[in-house]
């Protein structure tokens, strides 16, 4: 999404509306990054996650659809798709776990070790957040800003109900105040290829 | 649990109850009891719906105690769906109540000569059996509503819907939950058809006047249970993930892994799976005034279920589980949770296995009966099953029968039982279990992910591909053992990761029975159960050639990883060599 017209949308929402954003957080969103880099560098150095949190909490990782065991050896390039999950139940949950005891059971879809050398440049990775990581990492990513295609943004805002709009305290589009409900109209994003969405959550009271 | 009740439904003059000591089955429960008894007493070549088959209801070893998570009820018989031995288990209240009434098992034997329909009332005074033809052709929800007017709300009900009465091969046996809804099902293998063949519509369990089963060492038992509960609550899966999202939390992950069978196992990803995810489901449930956190029986601390309301906030069904959302959802190309919830209610009401029915509808879609993604069409097909039309009876007999009737080549079954929600081409280790389990394709047959703690079969290098046979073997042994305790299989994560929680489980068993229980004892029990089941199946005519996946898994690569099932036959044949 680099080098194309991009709208910048900043919204201020009540903290209890975080769940409204779960669909796009699950389906995936763009994040600017310096790539290629290892998954560990991406999570810890670029996204600012604590290494302990990554080790203990993000126990299931898929890079481009492949189960990833060693994040020091997994390389994310431009356009890479990174899905992050907490521990999952059941045998399959255990099977998908990073470096888990049952990893052999999904060896056919396991990411092999990759070459970690090479110079990096500006690019974008696509991130998906699942389950317990939605409330834990969602506000952080939304606060820093995520990238959506205009089609994704139009579909997302079109599907929102009154509850969502009543929780929106303020919205600016390219630094200009915009009536939140105007976003429901897809024409707001006409002519843009991408929307940079930043959401600031504020607690009640 | 010191007695067994045998009810001869075919006795001259009407059903006859015989009480006996628990005898050689002392200290056993759940699957251990049902499988050892069926293997010993049922002729393996009998017709599963005939008088020679037996239907065994057995609570777990710790059911009826104050222990947490001890509420699984096992039902065993020869399966009319697979022709193999069968153990199918469910939550709900029945196991706890049956155990408090002192029964290690209730066994239905014989077959009534007439087409009368019976109900069986069990309380502290004994067992009363009566004809009640007013229950005929009632589905589970109206059936329980009718029974409640007679027996009240302080009992547990075990029932069959119309599918069981019609002896359809996908028929389930329902157990009521704490709110007396018939939502917890012994689903797999057509056990409901066997209950229907015995002429029994309902079993009413009333434990008024009975007390909790007392442990031999109460203090030790209480202490071990406390540690066990602490372990469950502190683990991220049993203490956070399952309570928040239920088992459907797996949808996103399986889809991302490319192991989410879609359009009748044609591809491994569903473009709109996020609409079906546990995360979306939980949001919707809460928004509509339901709940995403609910226990299927009293004493459950994981609470992986929920209440799914309709758009108007009225109860529609319990929270559909992952396998149900998959079978009626992605497998059929349907991405609407409300449709899935409605189908889940119909499954529970008619009394059929949600996995078998969802897979069957997908096979019917492949046959061209309706299109993939046809929401209303899927509901219409379920209505056919409920009405017992000729088409409904074909569908209600499962995926294998439907595939044969309509000439479908891609029929995802092993031993005629439908595969669950994990594609074995992406997750090959699960394919080993699907192929070789004694039960027909069953994800829970190798589910007890605690083999590293149990050290079943010694140390295995899990990072070697050839370790998959060993892993599957060990998982199946561990699962057979846990299925015998009456414990919910979801405890497995906590006991895998936290040795002290596994020790607490062993201490609970030990303190209750006044013995010292070790991991080796648990492994020995699992092997004993599996050996008996394998022996029954061999005598029923099953050979190693039956321990295979359908050919299309070997010949059709699945996207996005373009994998086929690669395990060799010789490797599969090694699973039960211990």
What are the domain boundaries of chain A?
Answer: 1-24+138-205, 37-119
Confidence of residue B452 (pLDDT cuts 50, 70, 90): low
Contacts of B258 (CB under 8 A, 6+ apart): A65, A109, B268, B269, B423, B426, B558, B559, B560, B561
d(CA A89, CA B240): 10
Q: Do A94 and B249 touch (CB under 8 A)?
A: no
Token readout for B505 is: 């489980």
Are residues B186 and B43 part of one domain? yes
Q: Identify the domain boundary among B205, B222, B251.
A: B205
The pair phi, psi for residue B318, each rounded to 5°, is: -75, 170
Residue with tokens 């699950």: A26
Which of these three, B140, B171, B205, is where a domain ends?
Answer: B205
Q: Which residue of A has its CA nearest to B469?
A: A105
Residue of A nearest to B471 (CA): A102
- Banded model confidence at residue A117, pLDDT cuts 50, 70, 90: confident
Q: How far away is chain A from the Cα of B469, in angstroms, using its nearest Cα?
A: 9
Alpha-carbon distance B59 to nearest alpha carbon in chain A (angstroms): 23
In a shared domain, residues B7 and B59:
yes
Q: For residues B84 and B540, is the Cβ–Cβ distance under 8 A?
A: yes
Residue A61 distance to chain B (closest CA, Å) = 9
B553 occurs within a structural domain: yes
Return the CATH number at B189.
3.60.9.10
**Separation between Cα atoms, residue A61 and residue A75, nearest integer Å:** 13
Do the Cβ atoms of B280 and A22 come within 8 Å? yes
Each residue of B312-325: pLDDT tens digit? 999 999 999 999 99
CB contact under 8 A, B566 and A27: no
Report yes or no on B213 lying in a domain: no
Q: Output A182 or B435, whichever has higher pLDDT.
A: B435
- Counted domains in chain B: 3
- Verify that B348 and B441 share a domain, yes or no: no
Question: What's the pLDDT score for residue A203?
Answer: 77
Same domain, B296 and B439: no
| Domain range enclosing B510 | 428-572
The answer, yes or no, to whether residue B192 has pLDDT greater than 50, is yes
Is the same domain home to B408 and B325? yes
The answer to whether residue B448 sits within a structural domain is yes
**Does any domain span residue B219?**
no
Q: Is it the case that residue A20 has pLDDT exceeding 60?
A: yes
Same domain, residue pair B366 and B439: no
Report the SS3 class of residue A108: helix
B432 shares its domain with B561: yes
B308 or A190: whose pLDDT is higher? Answer: B308
Which of A60, A100, A131 lies nearest to residue B245, judging by beta carbons?
A: A131
Same-domain pairing of B410 and B471:
no
Q: Do A95 and B427 touch (CB under 8 A)?
A: yes
- On whether any CB of chain A is under 8 Å from the CB of B288, the answer is no
Using only C-alpha atoms, chain A has a radius of gyration, in whole angstroms, of 18
Q: Are B561 and A109 in contact (CB under 8 A)?
A: yes
Q: Is residue B48 part of a domain?
A: yes
Q: Do the domain assignments include residue B578?
A: no
Size of interface A-B (CB pairs under 8 A): 156
The ipTM of this complex is 0.89
The continuous run of DSSP H or E covering B472 comes out as helix B467-485
Query: Do the domain assignments include residue B251?
Result: no
Look over chain B and give the mean of its residue pLDDT values, rounded to a whole number.
94
Closest Cβ opposite residue B449 in set A19, A91, A104: A91
Q: What is the pTM of this model?
A: 0.94
Q: Which of A58, A95, A155, A183 is CA-nearest to residue B451?
A: A95
Q: Say if residue B22 is in the same domain as residue B47.
A: yes
pLDDT per position as a tens digit, A69-115:
999 999 999 999 999 999 888 787 888 888 877 887 788 888 887 77
Domain co-membership, B270 together with B199: no
| Nearest-by-Cβ selection for B462 from A57, A103, A132 | A103
Chain A residues touching residue B492 (CB < 8 angstroms):
90
Pairwise CB contact (< 8 Å): A132 & B452: no
CATH number for the domain spanning B467: value is: 1.10.599.10
Contact B280/A at CB under 8 A: yes
Q: Is B237 on the interface with A (CB under 8 A)?
A: yes
Asked which of B169-173, B234-238, B415-419 is least confident by mean pLDDT, the reply is: B234-238
B423 belongs to a structural domain? no
């Amino acid at each position: 999404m680099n080098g194309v017209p991009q709208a910048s949308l900043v919204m201020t929402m009540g903290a209890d509306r975080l769940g409204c954003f779960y669909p796009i957080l699950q389906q995936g969103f763009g994040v600017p990054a310096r790539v290629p880099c290892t998954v560990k560098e991406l999570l810890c150095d670029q996204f600012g996650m604590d290494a302990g949190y990554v080790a203990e909490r993000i126990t299931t990782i898929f890079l481009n659809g492949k189960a990833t065991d060693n994040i020091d050896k997994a390389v994310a390039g431009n356009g890479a798709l990174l899905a992050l999950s907490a521990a999952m139940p059941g045998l399959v949950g255990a099977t998908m776990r990073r470096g888990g005891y049952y990893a052999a059971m999904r060896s056919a879809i396991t990411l092999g070790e990759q070459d970690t050398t090479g110079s990096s440049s500006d690019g974008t990775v696509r991130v998906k957040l699942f389950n317990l990581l939605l409330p834990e990492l969602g506000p952080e990513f939304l606060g820093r800003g995520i990238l959506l295609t205009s089609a994704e943004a139009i579909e997302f805002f079109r599907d929102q109900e009154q509850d969502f709009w009543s929780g929106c305290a303020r919205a600016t589009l390219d630094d200009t105040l915009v009536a939140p409900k105007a976003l429901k109209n897809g024409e707001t994003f006409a002519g843009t290829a991408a929307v940079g969405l930043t959401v600031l959550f504020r607690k009640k009271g | 649990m010191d007695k067994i009740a045998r009810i001869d439904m075919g006795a001259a003059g009407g059903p006859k109850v015989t009480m006996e000591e628990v005898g050689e089955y002392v200290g056993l429960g759940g699957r251990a009891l049902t499988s050892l008894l069926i293997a010993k007493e049922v002729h393996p070549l009998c017709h599963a719906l005939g008088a020679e088959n037996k239907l065994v209801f057995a609570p777990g070893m710790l059911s009826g105690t104050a222990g947490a998570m001890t509420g699984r009820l096992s039902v065993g018989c020869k399966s009319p769906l697979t022709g193999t031995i069968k153990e199918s288990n469910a939550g709900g209240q029945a196991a706890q109540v049956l155990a408090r009434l002192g029964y290690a098992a209730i066994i239905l034997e014989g077959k009534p000569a007439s087409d009368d329909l019976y109900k069986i009332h069990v309380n502290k005074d004994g067992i009363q059996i009566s004809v009640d033809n007013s229950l005929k052709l009632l589905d589970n929800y109206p059936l329980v509503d009718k029974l409640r007017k007679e027996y009240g709300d302080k009992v547990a009900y075990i029932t069959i819907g119309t599918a069981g009465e019609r002896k359809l091969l996908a028929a389930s046996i329902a157990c009521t939950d704490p709110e007396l809804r018939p939502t917890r099902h012994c689903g797999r293998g057509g056990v409901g058809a066997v209950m229907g063949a015995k002429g029994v519509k309902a079993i009413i369990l009333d434990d008024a006047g009975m007390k909790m089963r007392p442990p031999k060492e109460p203090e030790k038992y209480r202490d071990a249970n406390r540690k066990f509960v602490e372990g469950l609550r502190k683990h991220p899966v049993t203490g956070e993930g399952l309570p928040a999202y239920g088992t459907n939390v797996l949808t996103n992950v399986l889809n991302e892994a490319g192991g989410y069978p879609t359009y009748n196992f044609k591809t491994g990803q569903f473009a709109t799976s996020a609409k079906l995810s546990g995360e979306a489901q939980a949001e919707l449930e809460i928004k509509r005034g339901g709940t995403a956190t609910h226990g299927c029986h009293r004493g459950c601390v994981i609470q992986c279920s929920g209440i799914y309301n309709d758009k108007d906030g009225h109860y529609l069904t319990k929270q559909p589980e992952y396998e149900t959302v998959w079978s009626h959802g992605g497998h059929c190309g349907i991405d609407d949770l409300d449709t899935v919830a409605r189908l889940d209610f119909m499954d529970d009401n008619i009394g059929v296995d949600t996995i078998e029915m969802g897979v069957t509808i997908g096979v019917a879609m492949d046959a061209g009966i309706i299109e993939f993604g046809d929401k209303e069409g899927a509901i219409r097909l379920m209505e056919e099953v409920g009405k017992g039309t000729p088409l409904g009876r074909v569908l209600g007999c499962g995926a294998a029968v439907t595939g044969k009737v309509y000439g479908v080549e891609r029929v995802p079954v092993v031993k005629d039982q439908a595969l669950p929600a994990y594609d074995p081409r992406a997750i090959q280790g699960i394919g080993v279990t699907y192929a070789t389990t004694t039960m027909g394709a069953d994800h829970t047959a190798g589910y007890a992910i605690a083999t590293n703690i149990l050290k079943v079969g010694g140390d295995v290098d899990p990072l070697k591909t050839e370790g998959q046979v060993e892993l599957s073997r060990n998982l199946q042994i561990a699962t057979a053992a846990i299925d015998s305790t009456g414990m919910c299989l979801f405890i497995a994560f906590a006991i895998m990761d936290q040795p002290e929680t596994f020790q607490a489980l062993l201490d609970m068993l030990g303190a209750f029975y006044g013995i010292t229980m070790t991991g080796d004892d648990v492994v020995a029990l699992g092997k004993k159960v599996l050996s008996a089941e394998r022996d029954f199946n061999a005598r029923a005519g099953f050979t190693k050639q039956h321990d295979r996946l359908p050919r299309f898994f070997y010949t059709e690569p699945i996207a996005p990883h373009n994998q086929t099932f690669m395990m060799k036959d010789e490797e599969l044949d090694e699973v039960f060599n211990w």
